[in-house]
Structure 1
Amino acid sequence: MKCLEKLSIAIMLVLLLSSCTVGLQDYRQTAPKLDIKQYFSGKLIAWGMVQDYRDNVIRRFCVELDGQWQGEQGLLKEVFYFNDGEISYRNWHLTKLADGQYQGSAEDVVGQAQGQQMGFAFQWQYQLNIATDGTSMLFSLDDWMYQVDEYRLFNRTKMKKLGIIVAEITLFFDKEFPQKRCHQAGEISHLMGEIH
């Protein structure tokens, strides 16, 4: 009898917790309304960090972005400057669809990325191929962006392998001062101190 009671309580807790998960629909009425096409148009800069599953910061970086659109087709060029000296590039080919939906592809993305905007939030999901120690691994990324104002945006990403979160990425975007650049990787720690 006690086992049955414990099992019932466990099932109720799982159902309760799963019903508390925040979804994109929860942000439908929020403001300011995030327009991905408008925000990622022109030059902007972002600062970020990667944390492992223990919440240790394992990498920091600065990103220079440049977005250009022709109709509903966009090209978002990204240059990443990591604090360990690595420089990497990604070119997103984006398509704006109906009802705030987007899809995209990039060199290290397997298949199509899918995303949707509601209110001040945007959810972007894709499979990313990352080269590590002479081999490559495929990760699932669940990317959430939240607009603060017309210039600033926060980005939180969960990186998963086999359904388990192995890392989290946090970014802060700023397009108020487009002339600001990451410059060289050696200057990243100095630039990170300039975030305001």
Structure 2
Amino acid sequence: MHYFKIFILCLNCFWLNACSTHVSDYTNSSPDFKLEHYFNGNIKAWGILQNYSGKVSRRFTVDIKAKWDGNQGELKEYFEFDDGEKQTRIWTLTKIANGVYEGQANDVIGTAQIKQVGMAVNLQYQLSVPVDGDSYIFTIDDWMYQIDDKRVFNKSTLSKLGVEVAQLTIFFEKQ
């Protein structure tokens, strides 16, 4: 019976992975979401963090100052949470090829892998998050969808040891 449960668990994991979205699913979508075009200038964002049960645990706003010089981009993100906490994240982005970027930030472990196809951008990275005086590392699966020249919608899942623990939703508007 024990082996049967393991088999069913593995089969479920395979099925979930087979059904997951890939950035290539957006090949024929538009507008063409180029990070160096959209994230250049001032951007305002609003977001929520939901825990594993879907309950909103935090709300926040973000002011972003972004600029590009050739294939190098810098995004300065200034977060303000509903409880008054403030955080700053500074991303350094490098365009490797058409649709392929890498990113680094002060609280990102290693390098974020970024792929763009059509209207979609997918970021994969690990993030160190302070929680009650400790720091936890989460795996982030971050999806951005360009709506038009001024607006981007962002949906991220935060996982720990392969288990989804939270979701982040952000709406960006270019100023």
TM-score norm. by structure 2 comes to 0.91
SS at match of 1:37: helix
Q: Which amino acid aligns with 2:134?
A: T
TM-score norm. by structure 1 comes to 0.82
**2:88 matched to which residue of 1?**
89
**2:20 matched to which residue of 1?**
21
1:63-107 CA distance string (max 9 Å, x none)? 000111111011100000100000110000110111311101111
Q: Which has the higher strand share?
A: 2
Q: Percent identity?
A: 44
**1:167 matched to which residue of 2?**
166
**2:139 matched to which residue of 1?**
140
CA distance, structure 2, for counterparts of residue 14 and residue 162 of structure 1: 14
**2:37 matched to which residue of 1?**
38
Give ranges in structure 1 of 5+ residues lacking alignment: 179-196
Give ranges in structure 2 of 5+ residues lacking alignment: none
CA distance, structure 2, for counterparts of residue 75 and residue 97 of structure 1: 15
CA distance, structure 2, for counterparts of residue 10 and residue 71 of structure 1: 47
Moved more, 127-136 or 140-149: 127-136
**Change over 3 Å in CA distance of 1:55–1:152 after alignment to 2:** same
Matches within 5 A, 1:62-77: 62-77=61-76
Q: Which amino acid aligns with 1:140?
A: T
**Change over 3 Å in CA distance of 1:13–1:91 after alignment to 2:** closer
CA distance, structure 2, for counterparts of residue 94 and residue 145 of structure 1: 15
**1:19 Cα deviation after fit:** 3.0
1:39-67 CA distance string (max 9 Å, x none)? 00000100000000000000000000011
Total equivalences in the alignment: 173
Regions of 4+ moved over 6 Å: 7-14
**1:130 matched to which residue of 2?**
129
